[in-house]
Amino acid sequence: MMKLKTRDVALIGLFAALITICAWISIPLGPVPVTLQTFAIFLTAALLGNRRGTMAVGVYILLGVAGLPVFSGFKTLNPLTFGYVLGFLPLGMLTAASEKLFPKRKLALPLGMAAGLLACYLIGTVWFYYVMHFRGTAYGFGEILSVCVIPFIVPDLIKMGLAYFLAQKLAKYVK
C-alpha cells in the first residue's frame, strides 16, 4: 500500500484546485471551449511527477463526476466534452513519465507534453464523435478535426511552452 506524506496530500489538493481554477477560465469556441486546464495539467505533471500528478488529475475528475462545478465555465459534467477530461489522465501521465524515461534530456518534457496532448486529443475527439453520433448528428473526419483539434493546436502549444517555462523555474520549490 502506498503511503502519502502530509506534504504530498497538500500538493495533490493544491494542484487539483489549480486545475479547477484554470478550468473556470474559459473561452467558448463552439461545442468545445478553450480553457487553461491543459496548462494546469502540464504544470501539475511536470512538478508533481507521475504518482502525485496523476492523483491530482484524478481528484479533479472525481470532483466533477461527483457533481461539483469544477469543469469549464463553472459547470458540471458535459457529456459532449467529457472525453477530453478523461484524456487529461494520459496527458499528465505521459508528461510526467517523459522525464523518468529519458532523464537528463532537455527535450524529454516537451516531447512528453506533446505525446500527452495527442493522446488527449485522440480520446476527446473519439468521445465527441460517438456522443454526436448517438445524438443523431453525423460529423465527417474533417468537420470533427475543425471543431475538436485544429482550433486548439496553437493555444495548446502556447500553454505547453508556458507550463514548461514555469516548471523549470518552480521545480526547486516542489519536491
* 96 class by beta-carbon count within 10 Å (0-12 exposed, 13-18 middle, 19+ buried): buried
**For residue 144, which amino acid is it?**
I
Closest C-alpha among 15, 146, 27, 169 to residue 88: 15
| pTM, full prediction | 0.93
Of 14, 56, 57, 45, residue with least CA distance to 110: 45
Average of per-residue pLDDT values in the chain: 92
The percentage of residues in the chain with a pLDDT greater than 70, rounded to a whole number, is 99
Residue 126's pLDDT band (cuts 50, 70, 90): very high
Q: Which residues have C-beta within 8 Å of that of residue 26, sequence separation ≥ 6?
A: 33, 34, 35, 72, 73
pLDDT of residue 105: 78
User: From the DSSP assignment, how many helices (H) and strands (E) are in the chain?
Assistant: 6, 2
Segment 112-120 mean pLDDT: 97
Q: Which domains does the chain have, with CATH numbers?
A: 7-173 (1.10.1760.20)
Cα–Cα distances (Å) from 129 to 18, 32, 54, 160, in that order, read 29, 12, 26, 25
Q: What are the cell numbers at 86?
A: 478523461
Which grid cell is 70? 469544477
pLDDT of residue 72: 87
Lowest mean pLDDT among 53-57, 71-75, 80-84, 116-120: 71-75
Query: 7-58, pLDDT tens digit by residue?
Result: 999 999 999 999 999 999 988 888 888 999 999 999 999 999 999 999 999 9
Q: Which of 17, 106, 24, 21 is nearest to 73 (CA)?
A: 24
Q: What is the pLDDT of residues 156-165, one digit of tens each?
A: 999 999 999 9
pLDDT of 147 over the 70 cut = yes
